[in-house]
Amino acid sequence: MDMSEDKRGTVGSQSADVSQISITAQNRSHISAPVILNSTVTGNINIANNYFTGPGDEVTGPGTQIIDTSSLIAEYKQFLLSEYAYITEYTSRAGEEVLLNDRYIDPLIVQKHREKKERENEMRSRGKRFFNTRETNQRNKNIMVGQLFGPENGSKKVTRKSVILQGDSGSGKSVTAQKVVLDWASGELYSTLFDVVFHLRCKELNGLSDEMSLVDLLDCSLTANEIGQILKDIPQRILFIIDGFDELMLSVTKESLPPKPDIKSHPLAIVCSLLKGRMMRESFLLVTTRSSAVDKLENILKKPQCFVEIMGFSEKGVSEYFRKFFEDEEFSSQVYEQVKIHEMLYTACFIPVICWIICTIFKRKGKDRVVTSELTTTTSIFVDFVSTLLKHHSSLNQHEELDLLKNLGQIAESGTPKRQVLFSRNDLPKAISDLPNIPFLCTFRQQERTYLKEMFGFLHLSFQEFFTALFYMLTDEAEAKIKVKELLESAGNGRRNEHLLPVIQFLFGLSNKKVSRLIPGEHPKLTTTVIRAQLEKWISKVIEKNIMNAFYMSDFILHCLYELHDRDILKNVMKLWERSGINIHWSLKGVDCQVVMYCLQYSSRIISMEVKCNAKDLKMLHPALCRCTTLWLCFDSISDADVDLLTSALGRRKNVGYLTMEDGALSDESVQKILKTLSGQTSVGNIRLVVRSISNANVDLTMNFLLKEMMGRSFSVCIASQAENMDKSLCSEFTMSSKNNSLWFTVGHSEGHQGEISEKHGLCYYEGFSKISFGLCPFSAIPMTDFLKTSHNLRCFSKMKITEFGVNVEALLSFLSCVPGLTEVDIHSEYLTDIWASRILSYLQINPKISHIKFHVSNLMISDEERVCSTFSVSRKPFEEYKMHVSERKNPSLSLAMDRWAYDIASSSNGELVHSHRLDKPALVKLSLSFPPLEGSSVSWEVLFKRLYHLIRLTEQCPELNEHVDSLLLFLHSVPGLKEVKVWLSSLIESWAARLFTLFLSCSSLLHLQLNTSMYVISDVESLGIMRADGVR
């Protein structure tokens, strides 16, 4: 309550003797209005924060002026909406401010202390793996800014009064603080928690020396009296944001701390009093700080307090930042994709300042120059980052900056050879250790038994590698020469020292004449010249003597040359490389194309290029592809418009290892044009072309062309459909391949996820055959149209169309029976009933001429029960010496295997318990058989499937177990020529062992019997085996 006298009015009594003025609190809370008795009020009295509870509480009088606090706060919010709506970027000139909401991205904030191992894993990972590692580690620990003052994890704990928001330099702490103020003022944040939010920037406070009160310090659109009234009336509804605690130069004692907001003192003493809770105890605090000052802060900050860490951007945040920075969405996507392929650069984008630097540089280049101009090197981005942080986030002079960089380099260099990424305070040079804040290093406390150990690390391993290279550049000439020589020799000692390659790449980048001029501080220019000469000699030796296998190191070599950007050195190195044969193995996208084309501009002949890129890069790569002898090409997508450029790049008489595309919509004419170009090549490997849909027409076109132009040569050509609705395409893939005068035909079907059960027209549909492949030698004419139609009808089935599906199974077997010279069959099905599986198995068993057999059913169903029985597979392969019994030489056996995995999955998905009790173990885990294919054999495999199904459902404790075991073994005894039986059980049961031994003795063809005891098929705990040779063993 503030009742102040106006200069033009007085407050007086009617009688001096009986004058009485009383102010009382109403509703047992606070003073809501003054009650003035026996007095005459003249002039103006300002009554702030006037809370009326009823008509009887109103105060009236001549000249009375009542100001509601809510109107003051509304006025203050309007001021903030104007003041905080914009941010000034590092390169902004007058009038070039940017809207905060046009830049702000929600940062990754975690409410936990990260452990040492977790930090090390994050620091060592790169690219997409880095972001995935961070998001996996922080899962369920992420919080939004709006949750900072809520009860922890939804618990009933007391709401925290103080929140420490810790983050490294450039991680977005200050921008987040500004966003909190802006969102509160606009009513989007904390509207139910806080009536007022005040913001104090510590960097500005350090420059104040005159004594003042907290009211004076909170300079804004409100008057001192108005601020004072707010502080007095609603302290429990006020949030103070203190931004940049690490920048405060605190040296005040407890005795000098002012207890009230209207008491004047030194500004730092006022802030310290707020932090400790000596002043405004009931208010809330949000304090941002670097990690180096967290210990000091938590010791003085009032309780209860909460610790959260701002970790910069998530992967999604990086993408969103690029999108918001550029107005042109296509340009934004182009820049983002170019940066993403650079693992080192992309990893660093978790730091908002790095994102800003990259986007600013690209924006300056402009859309038209992104593809055609030289791309800024990775090293130059890191140098810009260092310069930006030193200029805007530290107060060091030029000499101190140079000393800091040298000391940071010394720390980095000491750990890099040992792969050390975390350091104790004892590892730090004294000049660094004594600094209150250490830029570029993050600090945390690691629990060590009964105490906390202070640890330091760079923002990421990439920055440690950069500072290691920078250390060599800032060292005197003689010492630098020795250290760089040791580094290069170590890097040439095989894969165990691959971790040194990024340091060498940064050395090339720092040797770039333009980049070296950007390094802050004075440093020995002669050192740069000496190191550049060492690097040229070393990379020439690597290529000439193939020290590091130049084929697989080509990406590293080209990146080093690009970072250096020295035309004379590039000419010499490429001339040397061309002499020994340029072989490039690379996954190219966006920016990498510029790296390749920059380096290859001085080469006339390239031995080979292995490239993965998109169609947009084809135009840029075209000159290099034309000069290649051997090509391996993989494209994201190719359209009809790209085909002429592709066929031109392929030319003639090349070795095409593969030509594949992941997506596309080629017309039949484009397919024919590509195939015609391929027919003119010296050799052709795997080809995969994506068309709109697969029809009889384009299958016939492909087959006829290959049979006419490519017979007698090795090839594999696949046409794939991009049609989402597979009803419009005969199949998802059709492949024809040739090798050693044999031809293979494969049809593939993709109906969504493997094993998917879908609903169509109110019916339950099961995915049927996903792959049908067969091989023949020599080639003969086959009715391919009939086969494609049959395979299309076998994609899926429903209960209502079981008979129709069975007809098509018979049609498939009839087709295979008519294929002359059939040597191979490979069939995969997601769901199949015992009847159809039995029919196919019987066909395979009576055809010994089929030398290669693969038949796999992911979910074998018992038709009577309509339940999944097991996973089922049959295989046959030619005789292999030392791996197969000598009796297999002339007629290798079929191997059949069934396990309960699919049954367990299906049962658990139906909500059934599957032998959860340790005493309730399944009776049978897996069964495997081997038997020879015999013409005329007539085994009823349906019987086996049903008997296995009954056994799989039983446990070891079931009384009917022995009866079902006898039934199974009786069937096995009836299999002609049975050679091998393997059984997996949960535990060794005497009745099983005795019955199996009886089977072995009574079945003369049985050569090997093995009993394994393991709940899991993949790890045999115990096994008992019997083999028949001259006798029984």
pLDDT in tens, 460-490: 889 999 999 999 999 988 899 999 999 999 8
Say what percent of the chain tops pLDDT 90. Answer: 39
Mean pLDDT over each residue of the chain, to the nearest integer: 82
Place 872 in a pLDDT band, splitting at 50, 70 and 90.
very high
**pLDDT tops 60 at residue 529:** yes
**Rounded mean pLDDT, 68-73:** 82
Distances (CA, A) of 66 to 60, 71, 230: 9, 11, 15
**pLDDT tops 50 at residue 270:** yes
For 152, phi then psi, to 5°, come to -65, 125
DSSP class of residue 724 equals S
The candidate with the shortest Cα–Cα distance to 448, out of 483, 475, 424, 469, is 424
Q: Give per-residue pLDDT as tens, 652-705.
A: 999 999 999 988 899 999 999 999 999 999 999 999 999 989 999 999 999 988
Pairing of strands 441-448, 451-458: antiparallel
Q: What does the pLDDT read at residue 898?
A: 93
Answer with the residue of higher pLDDT: 127 or 314: 314
Question: How many helices (DSSP H) and strands (DSSP E) are in the chain?
Answer: 35, 39
Whole-angstrom distance, CA of residue 731 vs CA of residue 721: 7
Candidate ranges 335-339, 456-460, 571-575; pick with highest mean pLDDT:
571-575
Q: Are 416 and 472 in contact (CB under 8 A)?
A: no
**pLDDT tops 60 at residue 88:** yes
b/e string for 98-120 if b means 16 or more Cβ within 10 A?
eebeebbbbbbbbbeebebebbb
Place 155 in a pLDDT band, splitting at 50, 70 and 90.
very low
- Rounded to a whole number, what is the distance in angstroms from the first to the last CA of the chain? 102
Whole-angstrom distance, CA of residue 445 vs CA of residue 448: 9
Distances (CA, A) of 373 to 247, 419, 830: 41, 36, 52
Q: What does the pLDDT read at residue 9?
A: 39
Say what percent of the chain tops pLDDT 70. Answer: 83
Full 3-state SS string of 608-673: EEEEEECHHHHHHHHHHHHCEEEEEEEEEEECHHHHHHHHHHHCCCCEEEEEEEEEECECHHHHHH
**Rounded mean pLDDT, 832-850:** 94
Q: Give per-residue pLDDT as tens, 629-649.
A: 999 999 989 999 999 999 999
Answer with the residue of higher pLDDT: 356 or 94: 356
Place 22 in a pLDDT band, splitting at 50, 70 and 90.
very low
Q: Give per-residue pLDDT as tens, 713-747.
A: 888 999 999 876 667 789 999 999 998 888 999 99
Q: What does the pLDDT read at residue 374?
A: 42
Locate 32 and state its tokens.
Answer: 């809501």
Locate 134 and state its tokens.
Answer: 């961070």
Which of 107-116, 351-360, 579-588, 751-760 has the lowest average pLDDT? 751-760
Place 158 in a pLDDT band, splitting at 50, 70 and 90.
low
Q: Are 245 and 289 in contact (CB under 8 A)?
A: yes
**Rounded mean pLDDT, 493-498:** 72
Q: What does the pLDDT read at residue 57?
A: 40
Whole-angstrom distance, CA of residue 521 vs CA of residue 935: 87
The candidate with the shortest Cα–Cα distance to 788, out of 750, 745, 850, is 745
Q: What does the pLDDT read at residue 1012?
A: 86
Q: Give per-residue pLDDT as tens, 211-249.
A: 999 998 998 888 888 888 889 889 999 999 999 898 887
372: left (phi over 0), alpha (psi -120 to 50) or beta: alpha
Amino acid (1-letter code) at residue 784: M
Which of 519-533, 600-614, 637-651 has the lowest average pLDDT? 519-533
Q: What does the pLDDT read at residue 427?
A: 86
305 exposure class (CB count in 10 Å sphere: 0-12, 13-18, 19+): middle
Whole-angstrom distance, CA of residue 480 vs CA of residue 488: 12
Q: What does the pLDDT read at residue 293?
A: 83
Tokens 């130059």 -> residue = 380
Angle between helices 461-473 and 116-124 (to 10 degrees): 70
Place 752 in a pLDDT band, splitting at 50, 70 and 90.
very low
Which of 48-57, 121-130, 157-166 has the lowest average pLDDT? 48-57
**pLDDT tops 80 at residue 92:** no
Q: What does the pLDDT read at residue 915?
A: 52
Q: What does the pLDDT read at residue 157?
A: 55
Whole-angstrom distance, CA of residue 517 vs CA of residue 237: 53
Q: Helix or strand or coil: residue 777?
A: coil
Place 70 in a pLDDT band, splitting at 50, 70 and 90.
confident
Q: Give per-residue pLDDT as tens, 878-912.
A: 766 656 667 777 788 999 999 988 888 877 766 55
Locate 591 and state its tokens.
Answer: 């920016």
**pLDDT tops 90 at residue 1025:** no
Q: Are 45 and 6 in contact (CB under 8 A)?
A: yes
The candidate with the shortest Cα–Cα distance to 215, out of 195, 193, 200, 237, is 200
Q: Are 693 and 668 in contact (CB under 8 A)?
A: no
Half-sphere exposure in the Cβ direction for 823 (13 Å, CA) = 13
Whole-angstrom distance, CA of residue 937 vs CA of residue 843: 10
Q: What does the pLDDT read at residue 747?
A: 96
Whole-angstrom distance, CA of residue 569 vs CA of residue 533: 9
Locate 168 and state its tokens.
Answer: 């490294």
Place 20 in a pLDDT band, splitting at 50, 70 and 90.
very low
DSSP output for 235-290? GGGEEEEEE-GGG------GGG--SSTTS-B-HHHHHHHHHHTSSSTTSEEEEEE-
Q: What does the pLDDT read at residue 758?
A: 55
**pLDDT tops 50 at residue 443:** yes
Q: What does the pLDDT read at residue 47?
A: 46
354: left (phi over 0), alpha (psi -120 to 50) or beta: alpha
Handedness of CA 268, 273, 274, 279 (dihedral sign): negative
